[in-house]
Amino acid sequence: MTVRIDKNTVYEPDACVRCGEPLDRNAIEIGDPVIVVEVVSPSSQSVDAGAKLDDYFRLSSVRHYLIIRDEARTVIHHERKSDGRIETRIVRSGTLVMDPPGIAVEVEGFFAG
């Protein structure tokens, strides 16, 4: 699935979560994700932490943007608060709670072995 930001900007995140009515089976893009996940590589790191960070939060539906740094076993969690502020935290272990939509995941589960 791709995420449409505007008529000229579309990204293909590594994973995303949306809530609401089911999409058409033939849908190839969404415009209302709640959680967006990117796994960085050396070539994508600056885009994931820069342009994509800004663009994803242009969508009012986005509440959480996770940047996963596999080699560092780190999750950078950007969260839009109810007052519109974006808070960022770096998480290396423990439970990551994303509410809404009400999902809790163990950070260690993002990484192999």
Per-residue pLDDT tens over the stretch 2-56: 999 999 999 999 999 999 899 999 999 998 999 999 999 877 777 778 889 999 9
| pLDDT confidence of residue 74 | 95
- Residue 12 and residue 15: Cα distance in Å, rounded? 8
Domain coverage including residue 92: 2-110
Q: What is the mean pLDDT of residues 78-102?
A: 96
Backbone torsions φ then ψ of 42, nearest 5 degrees: -55, -35
- By C-alpha distance, which of 50, 63, 48, 58 is closest to 12? 48
pTM over 0.95: no
- By C-alpha distance, which of 69, 65, 10 is closest to 39? 69
**Overall residue count recorded for the chain in this entry:** 113
| pLDDT confidence of residue 46 | 75
- For the chain, the domain total comes to 1
